[in-house]
Amino acid sequence: MFCSAIRNILRNSQNAAFTSQIRNLRGEQSTKHEISVLASPSTSIKADDKKKEPAEHEGSNKVALDFGNREAHVPSFNLAAYVNNSSTLQQLISLGVDLHSIERRKGLGDFVLKLDFEKNVKPFITFLVDQGISPDDFGRMFTKNPLLFKEDLDDLQTRVDYLKSKRFSAEARQRIFTHNPYWLMFSTRRVDRRLGYFQKEFKLSGHDLRLLATREPNAITYNMEHLRKSVFTLKEEMGFNAKELSALVVRKPRLLMISPDDLVERFSYVHQDMGLPHTQIVQCPELLASREFRLRERHEFLKLLGRAQYDPQKDLYISPKTIVEGNNFYFIRNVAKSDLETFDLFLKTR
Amino acid sequence: MALTKVYDAATVFKHMNGILNVYKPAGMKVKHVRNAILNNICKGLNEMEQRNPRKFRENRILLGTGTAADHVLHSIGEQTDLSDHLLSTGPRYLPRDLSCATVSSLGDHTSGVLLFGINRGTVQSSSIRKNRPVRVYHLIGHLGSATENHLPDSRVTMRSNHRHVSADRISSLAASMQASHQRKMFELCGVDLQTQEAYELACRGLLRPADDSQLVVYGIKLIHFERPYFTLELYTINETQECLATLVHDMALDLRTVAHCSQLRCVRHAHFDVTDSLLRHAWHLPGIIKNLRQQRNILREHPQLLRQHRVELQISE
């Protein structure tokens, strides 16, 4: 759906020359108050044949447009009030950008309102398309980070080239940009410093570092203070050694973004109540990524059934990985081999 | 009543009224339960079919000539109002669109039945609250160690031996406590237990407090004993988590040992039972709607939950 929208927009851009002509005719009207009629693709094409007598039509246009202009002067708390009068906002909506969530963040509403689609947005779309990003993701990306339009295109190209020079594959770059729209905002120097920090802190090889960055691009650009705290928690409070830590982080980089308090709570449950050693936790870091109550429910249910046996050397071994996998129904059927009613009754005694 | 599938969010929202019976997990605040429920309702509603963005008014007065050849004017007339588009207005349903009130709150460590009134159900919830129905609790006490606030998560202050405690001893203590609580109720009403007046009061049904200041216990029963744990069943009005934990602590002191309360569970609130309360993994829109329907049936079967005819509320001073 969005693909076709993009195609429409790009097709319209071929009429750009004509559009600018009309805009000149309507000279004194500012772009912000530009009528919606002009923006919609169908009308601009239709209007094409009437180019011969523009002066006459211009007059009728102005009369019709008076409504829109008057509305736009009313001060508003949200972008929705301007949507009918601004072609840029309309194009953004057709891209799937959520204006509602943009306007809730400070200053971004003003910024988006002042954008001009042809001038500020389109070059970036072409740039992103060149990077191989699917148009379906544009809406989500621009919603997350509309400030991308503020950046210089040459800078962005440099940042992409930097990743290329670090031998990130095309797919990896694509994944990084779609999953973390803020990545492109970071200067090359800063990204380099971050990657350096990760490589040094966890003693990663180049391949592992690329794997980590691709798996969870958000971890690289995350709040540095928080990252340091998480590393401290993992290393000092939980006592993973350097080798285990790097394995853990590469397998589940998301652990670095979880709040340290939660992490310690989960770890203490897994380590003390479920009795799993560090080596086994490193084997399945999903345990630490799952919420504590979920672990608790499932482990205690298994214990009640007498199936909580996590030692691979013995019979009736249950892999800790399967505990956190899937929804409750899957867990009860395939891991606990019980039924949902029993599980519900069990939960109602907690 | 024939059931039909509904895909339209507005229809669902219209019928989202009544009492909801939720199983509150221990260790989760009532506020968080409430937010989770409301967010899940809104998430469910927003995933259903929404109304389309409205069109501009049909008879919008156009200042042009209005002939069929005038494309510009006609396209204005036909256009949808983009300011009503989902992407510019945001989601159609927000948690603050729903009104929600608890019938009575539970403490953080308490698990069990928690009643919410949703939308028009808030009226019902407040009338249930004013009727002060009895709540039934299962308390699990842990003999042998006392803690600072009598709950398991605080510091241990005392340890002691509990070999001399037996199920009989606990039951007899529970019975005597029940008797003294019942006597207290009559004394608060200002009548002597051995009089005709007291008999008549008792005939009218359960004596209930008029305000929510005083803890009233109607029954204490030992239902399970497995050293060091013992389970009490308690029928109370106006209880709080602290009251109940202190009660377990005091009982243990009478038994010449110490204990703390390792689990508090509300199993029944008036006629709303734990068996049809909604567990955490069922806190989604279909589950909530189904639960609202079940509770509506319960209310229909027991109209006295909302309007009291037989029992008068006693004023205790």
- How many Å apart are CA A293 and CA A308, to the nearest integer? 16
Return the half-sphere exposure (C-beta side, CA atoms, 13 A cut-off) of residue A180. Answer: 19
Sequence-ordered list of residues with C-beta below 8 angstroms from that of B211, at least 6 positions apart, any chain: B316
Distance, in Å, from the CA atom of A127 to the CA atom of A138, rounded to the nearest integer, reads 12
The values of phi and psi at residue B161, to 5°, are: -80, 150
Using left for φ > 0, alpha for ψ between -120 and 50, and beta otherwise, residue A58 falls in alpha
User: How far apart, in whole angstroms, are the C-alpha atoms of residue B161 and residue B155?
Assistant: 18
Under DSSP, the state recorded for B273 is E
Cα separation, B55 vs B292, in Å, equals 35
pLDDT of the residue at A32: 38
Judging contacts by C-beta atoms under 8 Å, the chain B residues touching residue A349 are 265
Closest to B62 in 3D by CA, of B54, B47, B73: B73
Six-digit token string for B60: 């919008």
- What is the number of alpha carbons within 13 Å of residue A67 lying toward its C-beta? 16
CB–CB contact B89 A100 (8 Å): yes
How far B38 CA lies from chain A's nearest CA (Å)?
20
Q: Exposure pattern of A331-349 as b/e (b: 16+ CB <10 Å)?
A: bbeebbebeeeebbebbbe
Q: How many CB atoms lie within 10 A of CB B265?
A: 22
Extents of the domains making up chain B: 1-51+92-133+275-317, 134-269
Between CA A348 and CA A233 the distance in angstroms is 34
Nearest CA to B136 out of B278, B231, B242 is that of B231
Give me the helices (H) in B21-153, please. 30-47, 71-78, 86-89, 121-131
Cα(A5)–Cα(A136) distance, integer angstroms:
10
Q: Which amino acid is present at B8?
A: D
Q: In angstroms, what CA-CA distances link B297 with A300, B2, B158, B270, B281?
A: 34, 16, 48, 14, 23
- H or E stretch including A208? helix A206-215
Tell if the CB–CB gap between A60 and B277 is shorter than 8 Å: no
Residue A265: its chain B contacts at CB < 8 A? Answer: none
Distance CA B109, CA B261 (A): 10
Question: Considering only CB atoms, which chain B residues are within 8 Å of A81?
Answer: 83
CA–CA separation, A297 vs B230, rounded Å?
22
Interface check A80 vs B, CB under 8 A: yes
Give the integer Cα–Cα distance in Å for A162 and A156.
Answer: 10
CATH superfamily of this structure's domain B134-269 = Pseudouridine synthase (3.30.2350.10)
Taken in order A201, A206, A207, A211, is the CA torsion positive or negative? positive
CA B285 to chain centre: 18
Using only C-alpha atoms, chain A has a radius of gyration, in whole angstroms, of 28
Report DSSP state, residue A281: H
Kindly state the tokens that stand for A249: 């982080």
- Give strand ranges (E) for chain B: 18-24, 100-102, 110-118, 135-143, 145-147, 156-159, 216-226, 229-237, 259-269, 272-273
Mutate to test the interface with B, among A57, A112, A266, A348 (most CBs of B within 10 A): A348
Question: Residues B313, B306: contact at Cβ < 8 Å?
Answer: no
How far is residue A90's CA from residue A68's CA, in Å, rounded to a whole number? 14
Do the bridges between strand B259-269 and strand B18-24 make them parallel or antiparallel, or are there none, so unpaired?
unpaired
**What are the pLDDT digits (tens) for A78-128?**
888 888 888 888 889 889 999 999 988 888 988 998 899 999 999 999 999
Domain ranges of chain A: 1-144, 151-221, 223-284, 290-350
The pLDDT value recorded for residue B10 is 92
DSSP state at residue A24: H
* Nearest chain B Cα distance for residue A208, angstroms: 37
Report phi then psi at A30, rounded to 5.
Answer: -75, 160
Dist. CA A92–CA A122, nearest whole Å: 11
Distance from CA of A62 to the nearest CA of B (A): 9
Q: Is A40 on the interface with B (CB under 8 A)?
A: yes
Contacts with B168 (C-beta within 8 Å, 6 or more apart), sequence order = none
Residues of A in contact with B90 (CB under 8 A): 98, 100-101
Q: What is the pLDDT of residue A8?
A: 54
Q: In one letter, which amino acid is B304?
A: Q
Q: How many CB atoms lie within 10 A of CB B199?
A: 11
Q: Tell me the percentage of chain A whose pLDDT exceeds 90.
A: 65
Q: What is the spatial distance between Cα A168 and Cα B207, in angstroms, rounded to a whole number?
A: 76
* Per-position pLDDT tens, chain B of length 317: 567 888 999 999 999 999 999 999 999 999 999 999 999 999 999 999 998 888 776 555 555 554 555 555 555 546 678 888 888 889 999 999 999 999 999 999 999 999 999 999 999 999 998 888 899 999 999 999 999 999 998 999 999 999 999 999 999 999 999 999 988 888 888 888 888 988 888 887 778 887 778 888 999 999 999 989 999 999 999 999 999 999 999 999 999 999 999 999 999 998 999 999 999 999 999 999 999 999 999 999 988 888 875 555 555 44
The DSSP secondary-structure symbol of B60 reads P
Task: Please list, in sequence order, all residues whose beta carbon lies within 8 angstroms of the beta carbon of residue A90, skipping any fewer than 6 positions away.
Answer: A36, A39, A40, A83, B82
Query: What whole-number distance in Å separates Cα of residue A32 and Cα of residue A89?
Result: 10
Q: Which pLDDT tens digit goes with each residue over B202-212?
A: 887 778 887 77
Question: At B16, phi and psi to the nearest 5?
Answer: -85, 65
- Cα of A322 vs its chain's centroid, Å: 28
pLDDT of residue B61: 54
Asked if A200 has any chain B CB less than 8 Å from its own CB, the reply is no
List chain A residues with pLDDT less than 50.
Answer: 1, 3, 10, 13-70
Minimal CA separation from A80 to chain B, in Å: 5
- Cα of A328 to nearest chain B Cα, Å: 8
